[in-house]
Amino acid sequence: MPASLTPETLKTLRLPIVFTPGAWQRAVMLEQSGHAEKLQVDRLSHILRAAFEAHLAYPHKPYVMFEVMHIETADHLNREPLLQLSLSLLQEPGQPSALLIALVGEHQR
């Protein structure tokens, strides 16, 4: 993996990271528990690491899909165990560039 850390890749990884509301709710927000903040920080770290690994695997693709374990609440146990997310470069006129994490299919161009 260190061979993939080109100046261009490092520049991309320094961009701000934003989540769509759907991705934030399904990937990071967890049900209330005694340790909700620590679990959310751990979950966020895991998702960011998976996103960066996906980007490093395909540094020249503008849209990369990756999966993380989906932590389910008791009332949603029938869903898939993996949550599919995407990482893409968000470039809006007049706005700074950012990396966007979204649910797969939620924010494709």
- The CA angle 35-51-34, to the nearest 5 degrees, is 5
Q: What is the pTM of this model?
A: 0.78
Determine the pLDDT at residue 47.
93
DSSP 8-state class, residue 55:
H
Predicted confidence (pLDDT) per residue in 26-51, tens digit? 888 866 555 677 788 888 999 999 99
Could you state, in order of their start, the residue ranges of all structural domains in the chain?
2-97
Q: Please list, in sequence order, all residues whose beta carbon lies within 8 angstroms of the beta carbon of residue 44, skipping any fewer than 6 positions away.
A: 28
Determine the pLDDT at residue 65.
94
Predicted confidence (pLDDT) per residue in 69-96, tens digit? 866 555 455 556 789 999 998 888 998 8
